[in-house]
Amino acid sequence: MSGSSAPSAPSSGRRLRRQSQALPALNFTAGLYSKWIRDREAGQAAREYLAARGFSDVGWLVEQGVGFARGFGVAAAWRRAAGGGEETAQDLVVGGVLVESLSKEEPHRTWEFMRNRITFAIRRPGGTLGPRGNGEPWETVGFGGRRLGEEGPKYLNTHETPHFDKGGLLYGMEWAAPAIRDTKQVVVVEGFMDVLRCRQLGIGGVVAPLGTALTEAQIALVHKCAYNEGPVDWYICLDADAAGARAAYRNALVILRNLRPGGSVRLMRLPGGKDPDEALLAAGEEAHSVWSQAKADSRSAIGIALEGAEQEGKWDQGPDTFLAALRRASQAIDQASPGVRDRLREDLYQELRTAGFEPSPYRLQSALESGVDRVPATSTPTEKPEP
């Protein structure tokens, strides 16, 4: 029996070595992307695009891990730097920088995953975070990419690798961590440019998922960076359109399942319903006051649940719209950890009163507990839905 497992050992050992070498290869690649965005010719289109978006300081962008992927040259440069042969390309394959052909005719052909794209380095903590947050490096484990031109999807991320799990990473976490520790607050935005705009303005505690709804692993990462010291207040700041409302609701449900007693989930809206990148750029010198006011005016998690019905039904299309909103609110309350449910029920009561309804707390509680089969009693103006 012992002989039967022997042949797999060399393969396993090589695989582990490649995985360990992938991290230096990823950091090396990040350095190349930084070099190429500075290149007078190769990086010109990337610099022009970013300047048009309000990011003209290339040195600052490079410090934030922004670069440019030409689409060729990484493998040759890494081979020279690593002092190896053709097999060193496997470091880049394992790291997701290169994609390997699955064709039987060309089994060893590789090409670069990021081609003609502005790149954003995505990092994770290099080890267990200490109580002071010092001494722990943040490792580059993958990249996001924004296309230049019309080829391919507008944004994409490194595919799943042993080091890159997009459901367990947040863009901007390395910058947000100190503010989260200090304030116990985190703001979730949609994309790379939103995080960079806040970073440019010195607004801390801002992170973005990598093209997906929040996951429990990402919430755990925030708690890890806050050193698990009590509750965290979550703010969700997305576009105010219907898609943004749905995304905010999905994110709120995940947070509520993992919310600690004393924490909160709130919805931020910036002027014109714009995302942080657009709204804060347009605000100019008033950007900080606009951001602070949006936080002050933020709505509770129950408000997030009701917003979709407000947008789609405007509260004036009859009892069915009202019931749908209450079902969403009830689902949000059910998803919450036991320690925060009572406060959410009170938030729901206040939200309904703000909307013009006056349900009795007893009937509202009964409706929630019975699955919201009927509208709570109300003494509202006639233009509101009747029970």
Q: Which of 142, 209, 149, 203 is nearest to 173 (CA)?
A: 209
Quick one: pLDDT at residue 323? 66
Using DSSP, state whether 315 is helix, strand or coil. Answer: coil
Q: Say whether 165-297 and 13-164 share the same fold.
A: no
Q: How far is CA 307 from the centre of its chain?
A: 21
| C-alpha to C-alpha distance for 308 and 317, rounded to whole angstroms | 13
Quick one: pLDDT at residue 171? 97
C-alpha Rg value of the chain to the nearest Å: 25
Residue 113 φ then ψ, to 5°: -70, -40
Contact 218, 169 (CB under 8 A): yes
| C-alpha to C-alpha distance for 331 and 85, rounded to whole angstroms | 57
Residues of the chain with pLDDT below 50 are: 1-10, 128-135, 312-318, 372-387
Contact 153, 115 (CB under 8 A): no
Q: Environment class of residue 359 by beta-carbon count within 10 Å: exposed (0-12), middle (13-18) or buried (19+)?
A: buried
Within 10 angstroms of residue 234's Cβ, the number of other Cβ atoms is 24
Using DSSP, state whether 157 is helix, strand or coil. Answer: strand
Sheet strands side by side (includes 138-147): 66-69, 117-125, 138-147, 155-157
| Counts for the chain of helices (H) and strands (E), in that order | 16, 11
Give strand ranges (E) for the chain: 66-69, 98-100, 110-112, 117-125, 138-147, 155-157, 185-188, 206-207, 233-236, 264-267, 299-300
Q: Where are the domains positioned within the chain?
A: 13-164, 165-297, 303-369
Tell whether the torsion through CA atoms of 20, 125, 195 and 35 is positive or negative.
negative
Q: Which helix (H) or strand (E) holds 188?
A: strand 185-188
Quick one: pLDDT at residue 11? 60
Quick one: pLDDT at residue 85? 76
- Per the rule left: phi > 0, alpha: psi between -120 and 50, beta: everything else, 139 is beta
165-297 is classed CATH 3.40.1360.10: yes
Q: Which of 322, 334, 329, 371 is nearest to 349 (CA)?
A: 329
Q: How far is CA 241 from the centre of its chain?
A: 18
* CATH superfamily entry for domain 13-164: DNA primase, catalytic core, N-terminal domain (3.90.980.10)
Contact 385, 319 (CB under 8 A): yes
The tokens for 57 are: 């300081």
